[in-house]
């Protein structure tokens, strides 16, 4: 995978040495509450090892470690669809809490979108955001994504139903 960069931000491949730091960043209920249940909480060393092992074999996903001023601060990835959805990719990301609200994810999303549109043979990048995640919606709006749909009560998280807000960016 290539190394992508711009604006104090580098998106790079993971190595197995990232595992302890991944736990430090990811083990946070304020992060997992915004993600699918496949992202565990608590997030243990064995979860990080599992992720890094699977990461080596992923074909339809391109996931990068985000470095900010040379420090690993979060993850971002594009997951390509199959069949009739093969020209779209879903974007996913999280940042360790100490690094929130510094504009880091806005830069990382812009970098990965440029990469996706130019190298992954896709024309659409989308995300499904839980209705309470205002910060993530704001990031995508700043990156030129448009609100596309509200999928009512699509999400069942921590025992409650929530709407999923779909955001998408198209480049043909």
Ligand X SMILES: CC(C)(COP(=O)(O)OP(=O)(O)OC[C@H]1O[C@@H](n2cnc3c(N)ncnc32)[C@H](O)[C@@H]1OP(=O)(O)O)[C@@H](O)C(=O)NCCC(=O)NCCS
Residue 29 in contact with ligand X, rule: CB under 6 A: no
94 or 162, CB closer to ligand X?
94
What CA–CA distance (Å, rounded) separates 120 from 72? Answer: 24
Work out how close the CB of 91 gets to ligand X at its nearest, in angstroms, rounded to a whole number: 8
Work out how close the CB of 99 gets to ligand X at its nearest, in angstroms, rounded to a whole number: 6
What CA–CA distance (Å, rounded) separates 130 from 141? Answer: 15
Residue 113 in contact with ligand X, rule: CB under 6 A: no
166 or 172, CB closer to ligand X?
166
Q: Is residue 71 packed enough to be buried (19+ CB in 10 Å), middle (13-18) or exposed (0-12)? A: exposed
Work out how close the CB of 2 gets to ligand X at its nearest, in angstroms, rounded to a whole number: 22
Looking up tokens 């480049």 gives 171
Q: Which of 22, 95, 125, 168 binds ligand X (CB under 6 A)?
A: 95
Scored b (16 or more CB within 10 A) or e, 46-69 reads ebbeebbeebeeeeeebbbbbbbe
Residue 101 in contact with ligand X, rule: CB under 6 A: yes
Residues 109, 91 contacting (CB under 8 angstroms):
yes
Residue 144 in contact with ligand X, rule: CB under 6 A: no
Q: What values do phi and psi take at 162, rounded to 5?
A: -140, 155
What CA–CA distance (Å, rounded) separates 40 from 31? Answer: 10
Q: Which of 106, 115, 123, 166 binds ligand X (CB under 6 A)?
A: 106
Residue 63 in contact with ligand X, rule: CB under 6 A: no
The residue range among 10-18, 47-55, 102-110, 149-157 that interacts with ligand X, by the rule CB under 6 A, is 102-110
Residues 78, 86 contacting (CB under 8 angstroms):
no
Work out how close the CB of 68 gets to ligand X at its nearest, in angstroms, rounded to a whole number: 9
Contact residues: ligand X, CB under 6 A: 31, 34-35, 93-95, 100-106, 127, 129, 133-136, 138-139
């Amino acid at each position: 995978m290539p190394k992508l960069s711009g604006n104090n931000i580098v998106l790079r491949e993971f190595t197995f040495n990232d595992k302890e730091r991944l736990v430090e960043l990811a083990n946070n209920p304020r992060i997992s509450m915004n993600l699918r249940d496949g992202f565990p909480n608590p997030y243990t060393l064995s979860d990080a090892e599992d992720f890094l092992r699977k990461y080596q074999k992923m074909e339809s996903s391109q996931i990068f470690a985000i470095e900010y001023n040379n420090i690993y601060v979060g993850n971002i990835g594009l997951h390509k669809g199959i069949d009739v959805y093969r020209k779209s990719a879903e974007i996913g990301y999280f940042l360790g809490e100490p690094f929130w609200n510094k504009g880091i994810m806005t830069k990382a999303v812009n970098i990965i979108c440029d990469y996706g549109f130019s190298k992954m043979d896709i024309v659409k990048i989308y995300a499904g955001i839980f209705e309470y995640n205002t910060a993530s919606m704001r990031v995508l709006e700043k990156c030129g994504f448009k609100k596309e749909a509200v999928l009512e009560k699509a999400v069942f998280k921590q025992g409650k139903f929530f709407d999923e807000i779909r955001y998408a960016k198209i480049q043909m």
